[in-house]
Structure 1
Amino acid sequence: MTTLQQPLTGRSLQLFVSYARADKNVVHEVEDGLETLHHAFWIDRKLDGGEAWWNQILARIRECDAMIIAVSPALLESDAATKEREYARQLGKPLLPVLIVPVLTDLLPPDLAPLQLVDYTNAGPLAAFQLAGAIAALPPAPPPPNPMPLPPAVPLSYLNGVANRVRAENLSLEDQLALVAVLRVALDRPREHAAALELLQALRKRRDLYYAAWKELEELSRRNWTTRPTGVGFIRPIQEAATPAATPAAPVEGTKPGPPRQPARRDAARAAVAVPPATARPPAGWYPDPSGRHQVRWFDGEWTEYAADGGVQVEDAYFDNGREGQP
């Protein structure tokens, strides 16, 4: 909470700043503007989640004179920010949207579209005067309604539901591919990337993982996560490649090194268009299992269903399920 001084707009306001986690390094420009105007404001710097955290936010909304909304693409996707605005609207609090990251006005939600938007993407004297004028024009907040509106439930990320599905006892091939599709989108979102990467690794460790889903997960784990223009960086994937190293693992004792793989119809067709040069491929042999379900797996130009644990060879029935073109 800032120290109260005589505000430049003629009256002292208690302001609540609503913003998205991904904008924490951008919203400080709005804070600087409010401090220059000598208004008191409250902004959530913890963003931890949980019931106690959410109750504190709702209490601050009830106490404020108006809500400043730091508009950005990330805010429009934030469930917490949406619930904050809805609760403030039910309480009759004036809302002032302040644009901090460019957004197409056609994409603004119905509760924000009719409101006058202060452009603060280029913080400067003109933007500061516009912010000061917009705050000065805000109507006073009415007395609390009677009865009070019901407080909104604690916002939960949709990834909570995804996590429950990843841990389900049984997953069909369709379920697994649907989860991969959801995680693919979440990995590209800065605020969801870390959680999505953890769920991706958990899904890869399932012992009933189908081959088609495993291949999709391998592609995701090999991606190089780059820095976005907003300055939000992504960590690199845990596994850089699904191709084994040139040195095979120790042979499986007491067993033959896996029967030679007979090319399937699809294998033959794919060989005509996508087989890398022979010198680029490691020799056939036992290598650490990239799916994580077994200690080693037989590789003879591509991963096979033959695996081994503790020197005992097994045939991984799930590994080839879902592959098209099998005889």
Structure 2
Amino acid sequence: MRARAALVLWPVLGLLALAVPGRAAAPIRMGYLGVSSDAGIFIALDKGYFKEQGLDLALERFGVGADQMALLGAGRLDIASGAPSPTLFNAVARGLPVVVVADKGSLRKGFGFNVLVVRKALVDAGQFKTLSDLRGRVLGSASPASIVNFENYLALKKGGLTPRDVTVEYLEFVDQPAAMANGKIDAAVMVEPFATAAESRGIGKIVLTLDQLLPNFQTAVIYYNTQWARGHPEDARRWMIAYVRALRYYNGALRHREVRDDVISIMTAHTPIKDRAVWDRMIWPGLHPDGAVTVRTILDYERWLLNEHQIGEFVTPPRFVDLSYVEHAVSVLGPFPP
């Protein structure tokens, strides 16, 4: 019991010092996707961590992270979330006030929550045995700007194929299981919980976890509008304290059954997948307990985008990454117990 308390509950006096009672804040406008890697956001909401910091959030759901970038750059969102994309690098190159500030999902070993799902009918009929059998098939992807296109490229390359060997159908993650069920797509790199939901309903078969192709890859991040962060520095720092605290609670769920059950309750409340068994079975995302970002893997993706002529120039990390907010949060919260 003492070990659990040390892991999940930070020193009481320290947490009391984090609270900002009675502080009235304008709602922070934030975009989210409603997928498993949003766990830190939903935990912080449900456990009252944002409220303890005197913050109120106005949330808006989007199909993919790339759809948020124009709104973030225009100041119509203060915080955004989702995968790095061509829209990020092109926005920074144009001087728009957007920056990566924290982790929101990576493919650590054993946490390959982006997975390749193939239509079960094809697998059962023996029409899919290896990745080379994707030739001539229809692949789902979240959008033309989605990082899934990079993941598709690597999966196809592993099977000796190129994107020219398949047809791509663009669908939001939430719509992909239904599209697979009616035969509109044959395969897709899905994010959890939709991949396990598709498999549990007999629609698809998980054939590859992306941590095998892209170990430690940074698939999703938190973004700040830098003008908002400079104009509201205390809100920006307090938001991150609440978020990193939630990431630590999430990591406690990987070790303690009662915390896992609580996190599953939170996620079923905030996402379209309500089956607790799916959440228990699925591959959970890697969320760093300190909010750290694996920048080098984002640079690998950026180089690919440049080679594919999807971005006009290579943007160096100082121009699009600012980890000072997570560093401040860790200094307030202290080290995460090993």
Indicate the TM-score class for this superposition, using the shorter chain for normalisation: under 0.3
Which structure has more relative contact order (CA 8 Å, sep 6+)? It is 2
Which structure has the bigger radius of gyration?
Answer: 1
- Structure 2 length-normalised TM: 0.26
Q: Which has the higher helix share?
A: 2
- Structure 1 length-normalised TM: 0.26
